[in-house]
């Protein structure tokens, strides 16, 4: 084949010869809908007439891209760290300057541009450990903390350590359905067996111990289950698991000898009355030594979500409990291959786990800004659920936490058939039509997994309130028209 005037008769790397696991990877959050949205935006720029003038994106949990303002203190310290000449500038508050000096003193050569230890800067790991202690009231050892490039990096690293065996001994990993597609993608990439356990939509997407047992028993017929992953608060489903559910999962992991992975990146995004965040680590230790001496746990946090939403800085950490010391050596070796997580992300994480204190000058602004972001998200969570529940043929569980609504939609048989003709999943067809007609970009439920015969979409609650209202009204209008058209 001639490309750029060059002949490539015998390429080494082709679709036939490439790693087949990579071909199996799917990531709906940036899938075909988003690609089409980008095309439509281009067409609009070129003057193509559409029934709308802009594409409204509610497909991805990218806070700042959706208009959320950064927290001033975080950016001040980062500015000072990246351009230390500003330490002489009297526009910056003293506490921001002292934080920047403290962080820079922990960097090689006093510069944020140098590599750090592969596990992450010790000072930051100490601050993370103190944060966890304040949060849980349980001791935390900085040596068990690994800093990462966002939570994604730490999650895939742990999965990599867990996967082994062939055929019936191949590692199986239990993940929820619906799930955040990082998990299915990483398991496909690593050639692991994906074991699905369903969340209970009729109980606001809670976990159910009998469903865990069902899914495990099924999986044991063809693989060796070794781990269970839980996302709490949930993505895409927006639930906050009760303490009871968390205890059930811990008991289950202990009984079945499963490594527990707790994805807690939305730990500050809790909105619904009566809901609270309980970390898996806290519950594990409060259940006593029978569990806390046994269950192996990796829990993950990130600078990408909550009130900061700084996903581009790629900050995150994991804490490991009861990890075999020999495996820890292997883990440290593995992370050293990628040298270190971004040092800017480590600086940011340090501020997130160690924010301004009440006696410091930046405290009032920090407190106000943080509270404003979380209060706006809480209002938007409520508004989204209320509006969706008024639409005939749509039902939406309470958005208790995280940043998403995952409403269920009833689709007429004729729409299901029309989708089939196009070779699309019915909810993909629905979301594509919504994009073409209204310029709204959502992600179909099929990208996250859902019970056979049910249909959903995921929408973020991140757009500014006025934009979100417009999005909700347009979705409502579209749903009514779509249902009528195909009935």
Ligand X SMILES: Cc1ncc(COP(=O)(O)O)c(C=O)c1O
User: Which residues make up the interface to ligand X (CB under 6 A)?
Assistant: 61, 150-152, 180, 182, 231, 235, 263, 265, 302, 304, 311, 316
Nearer to ligand X, 172 or 316 (CB): 316
Helix segments in 257-324, DSSP class H: 280-286, 289-292
Q: How far is the CB of 211 from ligand X (least distance, A)?
A: 20
List beta partners, residue 394: 409
Measured from the Cβ of residue 164, the count of other Cβ atoms closer than 10 Å reads 11
Helix segments in 163-279, DSSP class H: 182-190, 209-219, 243-256
Q: How far is the CB of 135 from ligand X (least distance, A)?
A: 18
Residue 271, SS3?
A: coil
Selection from 272, 260, 351 nearest residue 307 by Cα: 351
Q: How far is the CB of 121 from ligand X (least distance, A)?
A: 18
Nearer to ligand X, 153 or 248 (CB): 153
Q: How far is the CB of 231 from ligand X (least distance, A)?
A: 5
Distances (CA, A) of 92 to 36, 69, 359: 43, 18, 17
Q: How far is the CB of 293 from ligand X (least distance, A)?
A: 28
Q: How far is the CB of 5 from ligand X (least distance, A)?
A: 41
Q: How far is the CB of 380 from ligand X (least distance, A)?
A: 17
Helix segments in 137-275, DSSP class H: 150-162, 182-190, 209-219, 243-256
Q: How far is the CB of 266 from ligand X (least distance, A)?
A: 7
Nearer to ligand X, 180 or 430 (CB): 180
Task: Report residue 279 as tokens.
Answer: 């970390």
Q: How far is the CB of 289 from ligand X (least distance, A)?
A: 30
Q: How far is the CB of 310 from ligand X (least distance, A)?
A: 9
Task: Report residue 228 as tokens.
Answer: 């269970």
Cβ atoms 114, 107 nearer than 8 A: yes
Q: How far is the CB of 47 from ligand X (least distance, A)?
A: 35
Euclidean distance between CA atoms 166 and 191, whole angstroms: 10
Residue 300, SS3?
A: strand
Q: For residue 439, how far is the Cα from the chain centroid?
A: 25
Residue 6: which H helix or E strand, with range?
strand 6-7
Measure CA of the first residue to CA of the last residue in the chain; give whole Å: 48
Nearer to ligand X, 178 or 355 (CB): 178
Nearer to ligand X, 74 or 254 (CB): 74
Residue 398, SS3?
A: coil
Nearer to ligand X, 247 or 263 (CB): 263
Euclidean distance between CA atoms 378 and 399, whole angstroms: 9
Q: How far is the CB of 294 from ligand X (least distance, A)?
A: 26
Euclidean distance between CA atoms 191 and 196, whole angstroms: 15
Euclidean distance between CA atoms 66 and 45, whole angstroms: 20
Nearer to ligand X, 235 or 384 (CB): 235
Nearer to ligand X, 33 or 265 (CB): 265
Q: Mention every residue, 6+ apart, whose C-beta is less than 8 A from residue 287.
A: 247, 250, 251
Cβ atoms 193, 222 nearer than 8 A: yes
Closest residue (Cβ) to ligand X? Answer: 150
Nearer to ligand X, 145 or 182 (CB): 182
Residue 55 DSSP one-character state: P
Nearer to ligand X, 348 or 468 (CB): 348
Cβ atoms 456, 178 nearer than 8 A: yes
Measured from the Cβ of residue 480, the count of other Cβ atoms closer than 10 Å reads 14
Nearer to ligand X, 311 or 353 (CB): 311
Task: Report residue 471 as tokens.
Answer: 């999005």
Nearer to ligand X, 118 or 299 (CB): 299
Measured from the Cβ of residue 35, the count of other Cβ atoms closer than 10 Å reads 10
């Amino acid at each position: 084949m001639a490309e750029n005037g060059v002949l490539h008769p015998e390429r080494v790397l082709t679709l036939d010869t490439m790693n087949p696991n990579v071909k199996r990877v799917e990531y709906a959050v940036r899938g075909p809908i988003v690609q089409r949205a980008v095309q439509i935006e281009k067409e609009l720029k070129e003057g193509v007439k559409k029934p709308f003038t802009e594409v409204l994106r509610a497909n991805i949990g990218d806070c700042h891209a959706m208009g959320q303002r950064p927290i001033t203190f975080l950016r001040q310290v980062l500015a000072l760290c990246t351009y230390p000449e500003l330490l002489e500038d009297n526009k910056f508050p003293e506490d921001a300057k002292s934080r920047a000096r403290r962080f820079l003193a922990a960097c090689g050569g006093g510069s944020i541009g140098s590599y750090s230890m592969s596990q992450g800067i010790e000072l930051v790991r100490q601050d993370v450990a103190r944060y966890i202690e304040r949060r849980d009231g349980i001791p935390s050892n900085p040596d068990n903390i690994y800093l990462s490039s966002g939570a994604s990096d730490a999650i895939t690293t742990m999965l990599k350590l867990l996967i082994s065996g062939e055929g019936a001994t191949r590692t199986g990993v239990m993940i929820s359905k619906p799930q955040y597609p990082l998990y299915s993608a990483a398991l496909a990439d690593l050639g692991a067996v994906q074991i699905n356990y369903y969340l209970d939509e009729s109980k606001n997407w809670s976990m159910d111990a009998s469903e865990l047992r069902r899914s495990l028993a099924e999986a044991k017929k063809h693989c060796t289950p070794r781990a269970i992953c839980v996302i709490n608060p949930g993505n895409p489903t927006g639930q906050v698991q009760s303490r009871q559910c968390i205890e059930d999962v811990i008991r289950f992991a202990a009984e079945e000898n499963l490594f527990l992975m707790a994805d807690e990146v939305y730990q500050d995004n809790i909105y619904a009355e009566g809901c609270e965040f309980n970390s898996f680590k806290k519950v594990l230790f409060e259940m006593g030594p029978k569990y806390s001496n046994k269950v192996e746990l990796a829990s993950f946090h990130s600078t990408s979500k909550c009130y900061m939403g700084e996903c581009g800085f790629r900050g995150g950490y994991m804490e490991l409990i009861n990890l075999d010391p020999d495996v820890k050596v292997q883990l440290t070796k593995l992370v050293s291959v990628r040298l270190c997580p971004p040092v800017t992300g480590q600086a940011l994480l340090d501020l997130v786990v160690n924010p301004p204190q009440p006696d410091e000058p930046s405290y009032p602004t920090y407190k106000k800004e943080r509270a404003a972001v979380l209060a706006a998200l809480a209002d938007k969570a409520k508004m989204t659920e209320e509006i969706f529940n008024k639409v005939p043929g749509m039902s939406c569980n309470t958005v208790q936490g995280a940043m998403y609504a995952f409403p269920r939609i009833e689709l007429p048989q004729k729409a299901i058939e029309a989708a089939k003709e196009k070779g699309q999943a019915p909810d993909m067809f629905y979301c594509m039509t919504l994009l073409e007609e209204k310029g709204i970009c959502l992600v179909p439920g099929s990208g996250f997994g859902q019970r056979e015969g049910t249909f959903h979409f995921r929408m973020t609650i991140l757009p500014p309130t006025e934009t979100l209202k417009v999005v909700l009204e347009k979705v409502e209008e579209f749903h009514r028209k779509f249902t009528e058209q195909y009935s």
